[in-house]
Amino acid sequence: MEEREREKTGIRDMEKDRWIVKVSPEMAAPSLKDNRGDVDRLLGGLRKALDGGEVSIDFGLAKRIPSTLREYGYELQAVLYKDTYSWHLVELFPSGLEGSIYGLAADLGTSTVVIRLLDLTTGATKDESSFLNPQVEVGQDILARIHFAAEKEGLARLKRCLIDRLNEEMAQLAQRNNFGTASLVGMCVSGNTTMTHLFLGLDPFWICREPYIPAINRPDLIKAAELGVALNPESPVMVIPNVGSYLGGDLISGILASGMTHQDEISILMDVGTNAEVVLGNREWLMGCAGAAGPALEGGVARMGMMAGPGVIDQVIADPETGEFRIRTIENKSPVGICGSGLIDLVAQLFLAGMIDLRGKYVESKCGRRLKEVDGVNHFVLVSSQDSGTGQELTLSQPDIDALIRSKAAMYTILTTITRMVNVSIKEIRNFYIAGTFGSYIDAQSAITIGMIPDLAPETYKPLGNTSLNGASMALLSAKAKEEIYEIRDRLTYIELNVNQEFMNLFSAAKFIPHTDNALFPSVRPWSSTG
């Protein structure tokens, strides 16, 4: 009976781990015998509903309480969130008003922003939406934006355009799901260090200048109104903390999402973009490093390379019997370009077929008439102009391959270096988590074939999708996960990659397919060696 009572009025068991909750405080109406002040009366009811937790009410909100209590006849629902020290009131709703409360998780990518709508009571994902980061207009990459931020009004413009776009998208999500934005009562934002700085309106000036200092590593919860985000004004916005300019909140939430810190086994989490970020560790320790891997994998280098989208080639398989190349495109549209996973497949197949050698150079005798010289540069024709969605041939040039090889060599060298620095053999890695949408499409065997990642059993490789968004969602829904974010941040040791002669030697050795030391890649067998 008491439990049922609690179910109705107080914090429910299923919400015990929530840090944003809706409760129904019980309050006696004021009388001569009970003449507590309005705010103090509400606080008393809230403390009881929250099992005795401390509660504080922002002064701006406190002003409205006397009239609100009387309007609702002392029967109401309250939304609160918890920070390190106490609960804070977000909003009061009249008792009996149906409807849940919602929160948003956001992954602020440099190129793409993804937001996810979560029901904060059930924890269910209600909706998701993504859009091009509007900051792309003033700067394609992070460096361009940092420079733009230093111009007059630059920082304010970068912040404004992102938040305006976010607000539009939120309003649409709310409308599509039939609730008002007053029911949006929390947000958790993940992104690289520059992106979260721009979101917060913090000057990123020192991020890209030695010794590379962020304005802040670990922002406290900030009120939506203070940021201009169109949630309920008193809602908390959590920004996932960073470890420095190079290990951002997106990686921290990725670590949370991977679960690697709960395991005894050693895992690697790899996030590949323009930078490659690599985290190594387990329950006991956690090391991370970041290094330039080159933009080849993001579709930024190959002339036909592009981001995933309709008609983009995301898989290439060559038939050893016929020598034919079969492609798969997104949504089965006519091919218009190739994305990272397709490129890795293609280069792997070219190598297995002997059409490129171990330095990645085209072998004219094997390529035959698929090879074509333009301005003295070899191009491999993957799709003829007749079959192409653009009306033009889709080709892969020698420099495209060279760039990919530099990227994959950088990636492999980073992996080798960090494991050496922490004295772990690559063979000890039990889980190799691949973060990012890119990781979900990549074929592990192809990546092994070109020597981008170590030759571990394919099931070791676990694509996790958008770990930045998943981690942010977890932190928004769970007080425990939220605390874990801060623990991970404090535990994660940043390793400065020592780009010395040894690193350069390793890099040179990795610039072959799969590697100068073939013994490292026993599973890679060119057709000629098997056929």
Task: Among 136, 182, 215, 307, indicate the residue that binds a second copy (CB under 8 A).
Answer: 215
The distance of closest approach from Cβ of residue 107 to a second copy in the complex, given in angstroms and rounded to an integer, is: 21
Task: Among 4, 8, 211, 375, indicate the residue that binds a second copy (CB under 8 A).
Answer: 211
Task: Among 7, 13, 86, 326, indicate the residue that binds a second copy (CB under 8 A).
Answer: 86
Task: Among 2, 3, 98, 210, indicate the residue that binds a second copy (CB under 8 A).
Answer: 210
Beta carbon nearer to a second copy, 218 or 372: 218
User: Residues binding a second copy: what is the number (CB under 8 A)?
Assistant: 48
Query: Can you name the residues that pair with 113 across neighbouring β-strands?
Result: 108, 131
212 binds a second copy (CB under 8 A): yes
Beta carbon nearer to a second copy, 220 or 265: 220
**3-state secondary structure at position 147:** helix
84 binds a second copy (CB under 8 A): yes
Beta carbon nearer to a second copy, 202 or 327: 202
Listing DSSP states for 30-82 in one string gives P-SS----HHHHHHHHHHHHTTT--EE--HHHHTTHHHHHHHTTT-EEEEEEE
**3-state secondary structure at position 270:** strand
The distance of closest approach from Cβ of residue 527 to a second copy in the complex, given in angstroms and rounded to an integer, is: 48
Q: Which stretch binds a second copy (CB under 8 A): 205-213, 309-317, 380-388, 426-434?
A: 205-213
85 binds a second copy (CB under 8 A): yes
Q: Give the CA angle between residues 310, 335, 451 to the nearest 5°.
A: 95
Per the CB < 8 A criterion, the answer to whether 525 and 354 are in contact is: no
The distance of closest approach from Cβ of residue 28 to a second copy in the complex, given in angstroms and rounded to an integer, is: 11
222 binds a second copy (CB under 8 A): yes
Evaluated on CA atoms 15, 17, 23, 26, the torsion sign reads positive
Beta carbon nearer to a second copy, 219 or 342: 219
Closest Cα to residue 439, out of 418, 416, 411, 420? 411
Cα 391 to Cα 80, 129, 315, 386: the distances in Å are: 58, 32, 20, 6
Q: Which of residues 14-43 bind a second copy (CB under 8 A)?
A: 30-32, 34-41
Beta carbon nearer to a second copy, 97 or 156: 156
Q: Is residue 102 within a helix (H) or strand (E), and if so which, with residue range?
A: strand 102-108
200 binds a second copy (CB under 8 A): yes
The distance of closest approach from Cβ of residue 415 to a second copy in the complex, given in angstroms and rounded to an integer, is: 22
Task: Among 3, 59, 368, 500, indicate the residue that binds a second copy (CB under 8 A).
Answer: 59
At CB < 8 A and 24+ separation, what contacts does 40-48 make? 41/69, 42/69, 42/78, 46/78, 46/80, 46/87, 46/89, 48/10
- Calculate the CA 378 to chain-centre distance: 37
The distance of closest approach from Cβ of residue 224 to a second copy in the complex, given in angstroms and rounded to an integer, is: 12
67 binds a second copy (CB under 8 A): yes
392 binds a second copy (CB under 8 A): no
CA dihedral angle for residue 168, residue 169, residue 171, residue 173, rounded to 10 degrees: 170
Helix axes 154-176 and 193-200, enclosed angle (nearest 10): 90
Cβ burial of 329 (10 Å; 0-12, 13-18, 19+) is buried
219 binds a second copy (CB under 8 A): yes
45 binds a second copy (CB under 8 A): no
527 binds a second copy (CB under 8 A): no
Beta carbon nearer to a second copy, 239 or 383: 239
Q: What one-letter code names the amino acid at 345?
A: D
User: How many Cα atoms occupy the beta-carbon half-sphere of 328 within 13 Å?
Assistant: 13
The distance of closest approach from Cβ of residue 50 to a second copy in the complex, given in angstroms and rounded to an integer, is: 16
Task: Among 72, 179, 486, 494, indicate the residue that binds a second copy (CB under 8 A).
Answer: 494
258 binds a second copy (CB under 8 A): no
Q: Which residues bind a second copy (CB under 8 A)?
A: 30-32, 34-41, 54, 56-57, 59-60, 62-63, 65-67, 84-86, 200-203, 205-206, 210-220, 222, 226, 242, 244-245, 494, 496
